[in-house]
Structure formats: C-alpha cells, structure tokens
Amino acid sequence: MDGSRRWPVISALGIVQILSWGSSFYLLGVLATPIAADTGWPLTWIVGGLSAGLLVAGLVSPTVGRTIARHGGRPVLASAAVAMATGLVVLALAPNLTVFLLAWLFLGLGMGMGLYDPAFATLGRLYGAQARPAIATLTLWGGFASTVSWPLSALLVEAIGWRGTCLAYAGLQLAVSLPLVLSTIPPPATPAPGPDVRQKPVPVLAERERRAFVVMAGILVLGGTVMTMVSVHLLTLLQARAVPLASAVAFGALIGPAQVGARLLEMAGRGRHHPLWTLTAAMSLVAVGIALLAVEVPFVGLALVLYGAGNGIYSIARGTVPLVLFGPERYAPLIGLLARPGLMAQAAAPLVGAFVLTHGGAEGVFALLTTLAVANVALVGLLWRCR
C-alpha cells in the first residue's frame, strides 16, 4: 500500500488514539479531585480504578494480539470504542464506589483493545515489514493526547461536571472513534498467518528469539513502571524539591513538547537506523533525565525535557523493535503477549510509588526510579546481544 493511501488510515487511528487515551489513561488526571470532592470517596480508591483498568488490559492483551493476527484490527478497535463508551456511561451513572470500580473493568477492556499496542498490531498486520514509518507517525498523533484531553476535560468539568464529562467522552467514542474505525481501517490485504500463530498461545520462537522476547518484556516492564510512576507522582516529587505547585505544573508541561519533538527527529531519520538504536537512545535519555532530578540539579526543566524526549521515542521503539526482531508474521500475537507484563507493571506502579513515597519520602522514590531506569539501559545492552 503506497503512502498516499496510508495517510487516511494513520490519521484516523491518530484521532482514535487521542480520544482513547483521553477517555481512559488520562481521564483521572483531571477528574479524580472533582470526583472525590463530589462523592466523598477516598482519592486512593478513585485513582485505584485506573490500576484496575490497566490490570484488565494486561489480562486481555494476548487474546487481543491473536485476534488481530487472525481478523485484522478493525473489529478489535471498534469493540474498544464500544467498551470504552460503556465504561464511561457506567462511570457517569455510578451511585457508589463499587459501581465506579466496576466501570473501570469495562474501560480496562477498552484500553486492552484500543491503546498503542493494538494500534501497532493493526498497522503491522496491514503493512507488514513496512509498518515502521506508520507506527512512528501514529505515536506523533498520540503525543498530543494529554495536550488535547486535559484542557478539554477541565473545560467540560467546569461546564457540565465530572459525570457530564464522562458522558461527553462516551459520546465521542460512539460518534467519532467508532465511525472512523469502521469507515477508514481496511481489512488486511494478506491472508491470516499460519496455524502456529493463530492457534498456539505462544508463536514458535527459536532459542535466541526466546531470550530476546524475555529481555524485551523486561524492558517494557521497567519502562512502563517508570513512565507511570512519573506521570502519577511528578508534581508531588517536584514539590518535595521545594518547587512551587505552579512552577511544577509548568515544568511538567515540558514533557509533552519534548516527546513530540523527539518523535519528529526520529521520523526525520526515515528508518535508516536499526530501531534498537532508537530504544538505546530512549532508555539512555530517560535514565539521564531521572538521574538529574534525583541529584537535585538546578536544571529541572532540562531534566524533564531529556526524560520527555526519551519517553517520546520509547513509544516508537516499543512498537518497532519487536517488528524487526520477530518479523511481521508473528508481530500481532507477540506484541499482545509483550504488552501483558508491561500493563501489569503500570497497574502496580501508582501503588508502589505511593508506598515508597509514604515510607521513604521523595528521596526513596527518586532512588527507585533511577535504579529502574539504569537497569533498563543495561537490559537494552543485553537485547543487542540477543538480536
């Protein structure tokens, strides 16, 4: 498929990704405090809804990958929009905390079927070995998810309350995401992979490939843990460094543009380098950024720009490295399997961060983040040996 025919597909998927991330992963960034103020429910339990959703997403991700390998991404992504809309309606109508948490099970199902990994698998199924530029472009769209969704959520909460905001996002899923998926995402042009990929829970891997798979899974676990912990606790950690709240918010806002800028630089390379170099740069930038924050250097902005740049191209590498290591035929089911441990780690990360923050303070959290980030650089080095 030529580039002119890919742009409508990638653009549609990009809009769907912005709405999907905004309707799920980034939802509580704005809504958690208004929900707690309106209902009196404990904030910890409210935020715990996201952890429950990520846990469900991790559980279903291998099945999602196998389904995309067999049937393509359109039915899966369409189902994701319906699941997210259902969860958001239940959230809006939740009379108590139990129903609120139940809603996150539907949202988790939607995340497992509709965020980056299923979208990457869809592109891999459509374009095969030529999917790398499409994946990079999609992450560029995804980089605007928080930039769009947080201000939109704040405006909606102010105008119609948190329950109305959930209903509005449900409407966007059904009125925008679902039609875009059904009208724009084509079925795969090539037949479904052979029976090994479709029927076996784990596609057949050679010994060296198995080692690479395990190392890549470890990288996703550590990378997801660091990213989620920073996303949830960054403002608290900066304030513990005597950074005023307004300044902490301004510093945090640097991450988004840094992500997009780094992705643009990666795309400018037009895939001339092996994606393992992208992964190496990503984990190195994240480690340097986290380490600078941990040692209390005065350049908080520089540290967060480096972290944001690394996190930005990490999103590309997590989609492109498995494509190159394992090939397009096994890509969809393997990326589903790889997603599970990373999503499980993301589910646990906010709770682990809160525990360490309570018992070890900000210094303990920074020490943990630095250790995980440096360990991930070492895992990338090991992956080079396994390729």
Is 32's pLDDT higher than 90? no
Domain 205-387 grouped into CATH 1.20.1250.20: yes
Which pLDDT tens digit goes with each residue over 48-101?
A: 898 899 999 999 999 998 999 888 899 999 999 999 999 999 999 999 999 999
Q: How many CA atoms lie within 13 A of 43 on its CB side?
A: 11
The predicted model scores a pTM of 0.82
From 145, 153, 42, select the one nearest 100 (Cα to Cα). 42
Percent of the chain with pLDDT over 90: 42
Q: How confident is residue 368, by pLDDT bands cut at 50, 70 and 90? A: very high
Which pLDDT tens digit goes with each residue over 208-228?
A: 888 989 999 999 999 989 988
Give whole-number Cα distances, 40 to 24, 35, 48, 95, 160, in Å. 22, 8, 15, 12, 19
Single-letter amino acid, residue 240:
A
**Residues 291, 289: Cα–Cα separation, whole Å:** 5
User: Which carries the bigger pLDDT value, residue 272 or residue 68?
Assistant: 68
Model pLDDT, residue 191:
64
Residues of the chain with CATH 1.20.1250.20: 1-189, 205-387
Model pLDDT, residue 334:
87
Is 202's pLDDT higher than 90? no
Q: Decide if 341 contacts 320 (C-beta within 8 A).
A: no
Residue that has been written with the tokens 């906010």 in this structure = 350
Is 195's pLDDT higher than 70? no
Give domain 1-189's CATH superfamily: MFS general substrate transporter like domains (1.20.1250.20)
To 5 degrees, how large is the angle CA 345–CA 351–CA 355?
125
